[in-house]
């Protein structure tokens, strides 16, 4: 559904850094964690995600109604009693939405974890060991990559019949690790050629130690970004499965709401409150996760960071834009900026003393 | 040429893997829903049809798995995918060949338009970084997170109705017979506009974002500075130097994400009851029509593989480094 | 000395704006004369590349030129300030008057286009009146000039070796017969034999075609061998400028001495390698006074408080050289 937008794979570190400012390199390592959070996109995404996690935890307690409880208020628009209106059976949409959050988040994170573990195992092993192992594992992940994942998941879950959340998460996790494995393999390959890895191999470190202590810390960002990407995919897949009615209809998630809304002609009845909030919830969760991923992307490849201010006022009041190929000229007065001193103000004799000594 | 042969070999291998997967999935599941269906249609099934379903779903307990596997392949080569239960007694292959053109036209054309449009806008956004185009990014991020089918629902809600130009479902007006004539073609086009727009809006954002990021990354390559230093026009630097190089990863990304995109677009067909493969899959799911599901999965996989191969050929033409002489 | 072709006057180049701003090139005054090879040396971070990209306005964001002038004297016509040109005029100036051979020989060529395309698109932009056949002939001629067989015209960059690619870049730089060629570490990516071969060839071409060269490198030994005059940069400023031989034999600035002491002499008596203690200054927190004083073995009282001006020293060869050091207070400031 969503195209993985992470560009980490495509950024080869250490190329074409011509004429970059050569300063500011030291002290960078220290504050990395803070920098990531201070990235506006990542921070926004994290806050939004935190709200979702909170709702997933407290949802069932704060929900005003039992999501299955029927009432006589059929297809009612939002009101004080029912903030997001009711369904054809008089169920409270807001409660369904709140309670559904938990299932969505659980499946997303569980599937993301499975896929991440698999992708690390397969991708890093392939990249690190190389040779026949690499060929075999790469072929395997490429096969999984080109086989359309969602139809495969649909086929499997429908064969399983009324699958529970954990089983759905398992199926999604087992079928969606390939993209990350591919990215990780490429990253591992490029890391493996670096000096520090060579050095620790030369000193006789065990393979697993090299992988865990030398490679993994450098792959954190890539792994994190892959995890987030899979969570997005898993959430969308779960909702899709529920929407087309493949999965167990006893647990609520946002897809289930949409399934009933679609099945009961919510559209024809103009019951917008029935299908709009659930879709918005999905889209906002997806946006939150994408924002976190953009943050990681910019963190990993500084070229994507916005350069801060891009418009500058020159001394004579014109506005110029920073752009590649035409460095802005703020002023072309030939006056010097600093005041170098041609002759020492006083006490010049000292000079001679130093020179002769 | 060697590169292309390697790719073809890989896709053949993947097709084999997918078909084998398709063979094993029903066999791994406890219980046999198909058995129940066969029982239901007992009197109406010919012996040959029953036999073919037995092979497809591994119901014959006397045969070894290996023997079944060989029979399965034999049947596939005859184009026999079993009978559909939803549209009993139509063969699955017939349903697929009826609905595949709808999907190929809708999803194929829309995806290609989306790729070119998104890539073009991405070039602009990446090249004119810091201008108004940056304001598009939050919007595109949001749109790319919206599920395709939900956007379809919203489109139907907002844009269709008794007086609307846009029909809310189907592939053509009732009462028309599919034919290449002046009644059918306009009707089919009218029915496809809204599904196409839905796919376009939710898929174009991904291309914009990835192309923009590639443009930004490529813009700081040395050869871009050289191009500026050579005094070439802005247009030439942007297109022939930056975009031309940024396009390469986007094309390989296109090939790799086809599997994802197709999954999403099939759902749009469901929402619009569009008579393509996705809608058939949906109906098969509702009726637990396993032969049809399996057939649809196979044909989707094979279409994606073919599309991948085409994208590979495009890549080959675009990147001289993969074109080895001799 | 012959007439000037490029005069840099109080050029200031920085990165970023406001509080984050870093000044990478400070009040640089430098004159390139017609037909000479001017060497520009310094450690990484000294601002030498920033200077080269700044004067052609090729510095990528967040680079900004905060002041100064770059006066260009064309072969015919009146001199003008490069920094005042419109984008369109600047495009004409680039490559037509001043061409650049870049640092990364490997990444300077567009990987998806043939060598011929990349040579002829310069002609297409600058000489629209030329016919395709004439363009191709010219491109072939340039390749021949730098010693590449004309049948490599249709090769892609990845099919050429590093040395060949850099030759192509040199050929490309000369295709419009510019007055000035800026070479930014043109040979660092190549092996030593290839380095000398290519530089030798370039010097020979310069004698034949008569362009001037600004040659930027951290390798002072190459400069001593291949340039007429050498300017040494430190902390964004030019600290010494003199004929190559004078820099080599008796440099006045302690930093130049340190640089010379950090590589083995090619000719002449053997010296002890010393190197310079400490590390280059952080452009964000430049020391007060002379920026070299914290590392200078000869620093004394005024160095930390006052910035020395670049000027003619009181030595016998004073009129031909300049230095910014309190050990040799300027008798006549430059610029």
Centre a 10 Å sphere on the Cβ of residue C146 and count the other Cβ atoms it contains.
20
Buried-exposed string B50-69: b where 16+ CB fall within 10 A, e elsewhere: bebbbbbbbbeeeeeeeebb
- The 10s digit of each residue's pLDDT in A98-147 is 988 999 999 999 999 999 999 999 998 888 888 888 888 888 888 888 88
Higher per-residue confidence, B198 vs A249:
B198
Q: Tally the C-alpha atoms within 13 A of residue B173's C-alpha that lie toward its C-beta.
A: 11
Q: Is the ipTM above a cut-off of 0.95?
A: no
Determine the pLDDT at residue A169: 92
Contact A21/C22, CB-based, under 8 Å?
Answer: yes
CATH number at B101-281: 1.10.3720.10
Per-residue pLDDT of chain C (335 residues; tens, 9 = 90+): 578 999 999 999 988 777 677 888 988 999 999 989 999 998 887 888 899 888 889 988 888 898 889 999 998 889 999 998 998 999 999 999 999 988 766 688 999 999 999 999 999 999 999 999 999 999 999 999 888 888 888 999 989 888 888 889 989 999 999 999 999 888 776 777 888 888 888 888 888 888 999 999 888 888 888 899 999 999 888 999 999 888 888 888 888 888 887 766 555 566 666 677 777 777 777 888 888 888 888 888 888 888 888 888 877 777 788 888 888 887 666 65
Strand ranges, E, within chain A: 311-313, 319-321
Higher per-residue confidence, C196 vs A249:
C196
Q: Is the pLDDT of residue B324 over 70?
A: no
Q: Is the pLDDT of residue A21 over 50?
A: no
Determine the pLDDT at residue C126: 93
Chain C residues with CB-CB distance to A314 below 8 A = none
Chain C residues with CB-CB distance to A308 below 8 A = 16-17, 20, 62
Q: What residues 84-143 of chain C have any CB closer than 8 A to a CB of chain B? A: 87, 90-96, 99-100, 102-104, 107-114, 121-122, 125-126
Least confident range from A326-340, B259-273, C177-191: namely A326-340
Q: Closest Cα of chain B to C258: distance in Å?
A: 32
Which fold would CATH assign to domain C4-97+179-201+210-281?
Answer: Rossmann fold (3.40.50)
Average pLDDT, rounded, for chain A: 78
Helix (H) or strand (E) holding B224: helix B222-229
Chain A residues with CB-CB distance to B6 below 8 A = none
Of C53, C112, C114, the CB nearest to B319: C112
- The 10s digit of each residue's pLDDT in B29-71 is 655 666 777 777 777 777 777 777 777 776 766 777 888 888 8
What are the C-alpha distances in Å from A98 to residues A93, A232, A280? 9, 19, 13
Domains of chain C: which residue ranges? 4-97+179-201+210-281, 107-177
Share of chain A above pLDDT 70, in %: 79
CB neighbours of C205 closer than 8 A, spacing ≥ 6?
C145, C146, C170, C174
Asked if residues B203 and A287 have their Cβ atoms less than 8 Å apart, the reply is no
Determine the pLDDT at residue B326: 35
Determine the pLDDT at residue B29: 63
pLDDT confidence tier of residue A344, bands split at 50, 70 and 90: low
At B218, list the tokens: 């490529």
Q: Is the pLDDT of residue A345 over 60?
A: no
Least confident range from A55-64, A199-208, B38-47: namely B38-47
Q: Is the pLDDT of residue A150 over 50?
A: yes
Q: Closest Cα of chain C to A352: distance in Å?
A: 8
Least confident range from A278-287, A316-325, B272-281, B300-309: namely A316-325
Contact B26/A148, CB-based, under 8 Å?
Answer: no
Asked if residues C199 and C222 have their Cβ atoms less than 8 Å apart, the reply is yes
Determine the pLDDT at residue A260: 86
Of B234, B248, B321, the CB nearest to C158: B321
Determine the pLDDT at residue A315: 65
Q: Is the pLDDT of residue B325 over 70?
A: no
Chain A residues with CB-CB distance to C257 below 8 A = none
3-state secondary structure chain C: CCCEEEEEEEEEEEECCHHHCEEEEEEEEEEEECCCEEEEECCCCCCHHHHHHHHCCCCCCCEEEEEEEEEECCCCCCCEEHHHCCHHHHHHHHHHCEEEECCCCCCCCCCCCCHHHHHHHHHHHHCCCCCHHHHHHHHHHHHHHCCCCHHHHHCCHHHCCHHHHHHHHHHHHHCCCCCEEEEECCCCCCCHHHHHHHHHHHHHHHHHHCCEEEEEECCHHHHHHHCCEEEEEECCEEEEEEEHHHHHHHCCCHHHHHHHCCCCCCCCCCCCCCCCCCCCCCHHHCCCCCCCCCCCCCCCHHHHCCCECCEECCCCCHHHCEECCCCCCCCEECC
Determine the pLDDT at residue B130: 66
At C295, list the tokens: 């590392």
Q: Closest Cα of chain B to C2: distance in Å?
A: 27
Average pLDDT, rounded, for chain B: 83
pLDDT confidence tier of residue A342, bands split at 50, 70 and 90: low
Determine the pLDDT at residue C263: 67
Give the integer Cα–Cα distance in Å for C214 and C210.
13
- Closest alpha carbon to C167 in C122, C214, C199, C204: C199
CB neighbours of A194 closer than 8 A, spacing ≥ 6?
none
- The 10s digit of each residue's pLDDT in B15-30 is 998 888 888 887 776 5
pLDDT confidence tier of residue B169, bands split at 50, 70 and 90: confident
pTM: 0.83
């Amino acid at each position: 559904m969503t195209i993985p937008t992470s560009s980490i794979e495509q950024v080869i570190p250490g190329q074409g850094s011509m004429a970059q400012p050569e300063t500011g390199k030291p002290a960078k390592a220290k504050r990395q964690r803070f920098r990531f959070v201070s990235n506006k996109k990542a921070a926004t995404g994290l806050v939004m995600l935190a709200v979702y996690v909170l709702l997933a935890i407290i949802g069932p307690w704060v929900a005003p109604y039992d999501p299955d409880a029927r009432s006589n208020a059929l297809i009612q628009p939002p009101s004080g009693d029912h903030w997001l209106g009711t369904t054809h059976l008089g169920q409270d949409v807001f409660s369904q939405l709140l309670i559904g959050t938990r299932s969505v988040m659980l499946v997303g994170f569980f599937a993301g974890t499975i896929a991440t573990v698999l992708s690390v195992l397969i991708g890093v092993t392939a990249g690190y060991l190389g040779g026949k192992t690499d060929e075999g594992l790469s072929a395997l992940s490429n096969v999984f990559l080109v086989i359309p994942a969602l139809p495969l998941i649909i086929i499997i879950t429908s064969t399983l019949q009324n699958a529970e959340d954990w089983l759905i998460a398992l199926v999604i996790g087992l079928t969606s690790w390939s993209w990350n494995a591919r990215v990780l393999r490429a990253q591992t390959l490029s890391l493996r050629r670096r000096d520090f890895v060579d050095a620790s191999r030369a000193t006789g470190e065990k393979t697993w130690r090299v992988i865990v202590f030398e490679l993994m810390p450098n792959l954190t960002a890539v792994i994190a970004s892959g995890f987030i990407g899979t969570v997005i995919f898993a959430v969308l897949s779960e909702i899709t499965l529920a929407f087309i009615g493949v999965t167990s209809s006893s647990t609520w998630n946002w897809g289930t709401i949409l399934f009933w809304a679609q099945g009961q002609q919510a559209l024809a009845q103009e019951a917008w409150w029935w299908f709009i909030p659930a879709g918005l919830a999905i889209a906002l969760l997806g946006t939150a996760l994408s924002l976190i991923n953009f943050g990681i992307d910019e963190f990993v490849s500084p070229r994507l960071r916005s350069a801060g201010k891009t418009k500058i006022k020159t001394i004579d009041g014109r506005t110029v834009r920073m752009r590649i190929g035409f460095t802005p000229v703020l002023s072309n007065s030939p006056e010097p900026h600093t005041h170098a001193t041609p002759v020492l103000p006083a006490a010049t004799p000292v000079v001679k003393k130093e020179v002769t000594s | 040429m060697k590169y292309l042969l390697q790719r073809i070999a890989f896709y053949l291998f993947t097709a084999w893997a997918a078909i084998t997967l398709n063979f094993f999935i029903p066999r791994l599941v406890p219980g046999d829903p198909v058995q129940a269906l066969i029982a239901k249609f007992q009197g109406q099934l010919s012996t040959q049809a029953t036999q073919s379903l037995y092979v497809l779903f591994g119901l014959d307990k006397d045969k070894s798995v290996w023997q079944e596997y060989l029979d399965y392949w034999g049947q596939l080569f005859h184009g026999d995918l079993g009978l559909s239960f939803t549209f009993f007694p139509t063969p699955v292959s017939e349903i697929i060949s009826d609905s595949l053109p709808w999907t190929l036209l809708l999803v194929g054309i829309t995806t290609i338009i989306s790729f070119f449009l998104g890539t073009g806008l991405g070039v602009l956004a990446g090249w004119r970084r810091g201008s108004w185009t940056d304001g598009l990014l939050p919007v595109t991020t949001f749109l790319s997170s919206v599920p395709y089918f939900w956007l379809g629902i919203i489109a139907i809600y907002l844009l269709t109705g008794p007086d609307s130009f846009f029909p809310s479902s189907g592939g053509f007006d009732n009462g028309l017979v599919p034919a290449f004539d002046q009644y059918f073609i306009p009707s089919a086009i009218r029915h496809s506009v809204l599904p196409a727009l839905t796919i376009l809006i939710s898929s174009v954002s991904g291309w914009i974002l990835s192309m923009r990021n590639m443009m930004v990354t490529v813009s700081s390559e040395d050869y871009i500075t050289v191009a500026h230093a050579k005094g070439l026009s802005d247009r030439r630097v942007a297109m022939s130097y930056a975009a031309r190089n940024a396009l390469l990863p986007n094309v390989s990304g296109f090939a790799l994400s086809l599997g994802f995109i197709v999954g999403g677009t099939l759902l749009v067909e469901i929402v619009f009851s569009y008579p393509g493969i996705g809608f058939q899959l949906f109906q098969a799911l509702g009726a637990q029509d396993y032969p049809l599901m399996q057939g649809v999965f196979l044909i989707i996989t094979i279409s994606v593989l073919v599309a991948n191969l085409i994208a590979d050929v495009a890549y080959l033409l675009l990147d001289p480094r993969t074109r080895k002489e001799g | 000395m012959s007439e000037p072709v490029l005069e840099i006057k109080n050029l200031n180049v920085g990165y970023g704006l406001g509080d984050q701003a870093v000044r990478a090139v400070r009040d640089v005054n430098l004159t390139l004369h017609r037909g000479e090879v001017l060497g520009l040396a310094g450690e990484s971070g000294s601002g030498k590349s920033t200077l080269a990209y700044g004067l052609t306005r090729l510095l990528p964001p967040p680079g900004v030129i905060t002041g100064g002038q770059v006066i260009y004297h064309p072969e015919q016509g009146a001199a003008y300030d490069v920094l005042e040109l419109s984008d369109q005029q600047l495009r004409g100036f680039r490559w037509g008057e001043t061409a650049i051979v870049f640092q990364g020989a490997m990444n300077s060529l567009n990987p998806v286009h043939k060598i011929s395309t990349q040579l002829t698109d310069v002609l297409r932009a600058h000489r629209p009146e030329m016919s395709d056949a004439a363009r191709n002939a010219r491109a072939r001629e340039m390749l021949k000039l730098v010693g590449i067989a004309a049948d490599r015209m249709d090769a892609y960059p990845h099919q050429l070796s590093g040395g060949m690619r850099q030759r192509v870049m040199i050929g490309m730089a000369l295709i419009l017969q510019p007055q000035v060629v800026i070479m930014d570490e043109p040979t660092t990516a190549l092996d030593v034999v290839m380095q000398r071969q290519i530089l030798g060839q370039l010097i020979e071409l310069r004698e034949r075609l008569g362009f001037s060269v600004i040659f930027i490198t951290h390798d002072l030994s190459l400069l001593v061998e291949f340039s007429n005059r050498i300017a040494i940069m430190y902390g964004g400023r030019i600290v010494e400028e003199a004929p190559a031989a004078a820099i080599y034999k008796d440099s006045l600035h302690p930093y130049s001495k340190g640089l010379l002491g950090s590589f083995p002499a090619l000719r002449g008596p053997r010296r002890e390698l010393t190197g310079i203690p400490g590390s280059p200054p952080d452009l964000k927190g430049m020391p007060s006074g002379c920026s070299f004083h914290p590392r200078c073995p000869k620093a004394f009282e005024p160095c930390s408080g006052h910035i020395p001006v670049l000027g003619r020293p009181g030595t016998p060869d004073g009129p031909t050289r300049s230095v910014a050091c309190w050990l040799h207070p300027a008798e006549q400031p430059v610029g």
